[in-house]
Amino acid sequence: MINNFTRKELLPVALIVFAFIIGLVLYPELPEQIPSHWNARGEVDAWSGKTFGVLFLPAIALGVYLLMTFLPLIDPLKKNYARFALPYYWLRTIMVLFLVLLYLYSLGMALGTEFNINYFILPAFSILFISIGLVLPKVKKNYFVGIRTPWTLHSEEVWDKTHRFGGKLFVVAGLVALVGLVFPNLSFSIFIAAVLAAALLSLVYSYFAYRKIKESNNNSMA
């Protein structure tokens, strides 16, 4: 069983605590309405009440962290997590960091900072998906993390091949997200298309990798 409470966990926990503290410190200065959603042009198109806006994203960060920390404990393949414990730690830490940075951006906007979200969110998404791409090849077979298809879960060889392939695609998707900075009106369309393509191609690859291995095994038995 993985030891989920080690010194390195202080980093994501500190980020979450920092988010709650900065929200409480700034609470008296914040307006009654806080930006909660932006359209594809980077314009605020939805607002939330102050209390909800101050607590929501830190709570989501905490929930994501706890979920990613404790899900391995109920995974039938939980022993495999020890084989990629460090990459998995960095994955959940980066997820928390992404949410905390998004929270700080929303607070800044509420306080009157003028900065187009596209110039924040696209680099942030780019780093997030590049990080996912770098971690994927190190992820071992499990039921909660990674590219989980009937074919990857059926075969560890298919799992490993698919995650090496998918890792490269997600790194490319992260880099493509930056192209949106050059085409602001198409930024989120480019990003979504890149991520969907990476996910779909990984799924298709897992099927053909499974078929190829199965045919090879059948031929060797013939």
- Nearest residue to 202 via CA among 194, 192, 191, 190: 194
Strands 44-49 and 33-38, sheet pairing: antiparallel
What per-residue confidence (pLDDT) applies to 46?
A: 81
How confident is the prediction for the chain on average, in pLDDT? 89
Full residue range of the structural domain in which residue 203 is found: 116-222
Write the pLDDT tens digit of every residue in 19-55: 999 999 999 999 998 887 777 666 777 888 999 999 9
pLDDT at residue 218 tops 80? no
Give 4's DSSP letter: -
- Nearest residue to 184 via CA among 126, 124, 118: 118
Write the pLDDT tens digit of every residue in 120-160: 888 899 999 999 999 999 999 999 999 999 999 999 999 99
68 and 160 part of one domain: no
191 and 133 part of one domain: yes
CB of 130 within 8 A of CB of 174? yes
State pTM to two decimals. 0.86
Sign of CA dihedral 42, 48, 53, 58: negative
What per-residue confidence (pLDDT) applies to 196?
A: 95
Better-predicted residue by pLDDT, 194 or 112? 194
37 and 132 part of one domain: no
What per-residue confidence (pLDDT) applies to 183?
A: 82
Average pLDDT for 83-103: 94
58 and 121 part of one domain: no
CB of 156 within 8 A of CB of 137? no
What phi-psi label fits residue 112: left (phi over 0), alpha (psi between -120 and 50 degrees) or beta? left
106 and 140 part of one domain: no
54 and 72 part of one domain: yes
57 and 99 part of one domain: yes
60 and 109 part of one domain: yes
pLDDT at residue 2 tops 50? no
| pLDDT tier, 5 (very low <50, low <70, confident <90, very high otherwise) | low
139 and 173 part of one domain: yes
102 and 151 part of one domain: no
103 and 130 part of one domain: no
